[in-house]
Amino acid sequence: MSFKENLKSLVWADYISALIMDPRLFAVKISESKRRILPSSLMISFLALFSVFLSLSLLLPQSEFFYYKISYGLVLGYIILLMILFIFALSADFVFQYLGFPGKSGRIFSVLNYSLFPFVFILPGVVIFNSIELAPVAVLALAVFVIAALIYSVYFIVSVLSEINSAPVLTALAAVFIPLIALTIAVILCVISLFGIFYGFIVNL
């Protein structure tokens, strides 16, 4: 089934309803799918990133680079997001297999994409608050919503990965947080290294 046929079949709507109502039902549905990576999951992560990008653009002062951020910035951001999610999925798969469970990196990748679904609703909230000229409230509401969305996303990921791998919740937690900590440390080290290289270049000018 192509992406277009998948979109018309409304299978993705079943996944979203299960995502909202019961993460373990979502795990059952994704396990029944013949695809390792669900095309609809890529659509969800793109919509979530687009919502965040546009929300930040509405809250921050407008500039002449607005359309560049929404076009080129969005494309680059989406590529980086998919790379991070892919590395995260491989890392979680490694942890599961190391602990004696199947892993299933393709399905983990789809789960990670779907876990971003709550972030799709950031944009409507920001638009409503901005329309009634409550920008400070919008910023506060955005911060609260992002925290709530992160908490639910982690809960969703842990619940689904625990179910599809028939693993204890603690194992799923380890598969989520070990890669998260490792990736965070790697990003920090990369930023420090790039800053050191840039600083050395400036000093030697």
Domain boundaries, the chain: 3-203
State pTM to two decimals.
0.80
User: Are the C-beta atoms of 149 and 118 separated by less than 8 Å?
Assistant: yes
Can you tell me the distance from the alpha carbon of 91 to that of 198, in angstroms, rounded to the nearest whole number?
30
Per residue in 9-28, pLDDT (tens digit) is 566 677 777 777 788 888 88
Most confident of 6-15, 109-118, 126-135: 109-118
Mean pLDDT of 113-131: 82
Give the chain's length.
205
Q: Between residues 143 and 44, which one has the greater pLDDT? A: 44
pLDDT at residue 205 in the model: 58
* Helix %, strand %, coil % of the chain (to 5): 85, 0, 15
Q: What is the CA radius of gyration of the chain?
A: 19
Per residue in 55-84, pLDDT (tens digit) is 877 776 666 665 666 677 788 889 988 998
pLDDT at residue 19 in the model: 77
pLDDT at residue 76 in the model: 86
Mean pLDDT of 171-198: 84
Can you tell me the distance from the alpha carbon of 58 to that of 138, in angstroms, rounded to the nearest whole number?
10
Please give the full DSSP string across 24-61, using - where no structure is assigned. HHHHHHHHH-S-SS-HHHHHHHHHHHHHHHHHHHHHSP
Which residue type, as a one-letter code, is found at position 93? D
Per residue in 79-105, pLDDT (tens digit) is 988 998 999 999 888 888 888 887 788
Can you tell me the distance from the alpha carbon of 128 to that of 146, in angstroms, rounded to the nearest whole number?
16
pLDDT at residue 9 in the model: 57
pLDDT at residue 46 in the model: 92
Task: Give buried/exposed letters for 141-173 (b at 16+ CB in 10 A, else e).
Answer: bbeebeeebeebbeebbbbbbbbbbebeeebbb
Is the pLDDT at 44 greater than 70, yes or no? yes
Can you tell me the distance from the alpha carbon of 27 to that of 32, in angstroms, rounded to the nearest whole number?
9
User: Are the C-beta atoms of 193 and 179 separated by less than 8 Å?
Assistant: no
pLDDT at residue 133 in the model: 63
pLDDT at residue 77 in the model: 86
User: Are the C-beta atoms of 45 and 116 separated by less than 8 Å?
Assistant: yes
Mean pLDDT of 121-146: 73
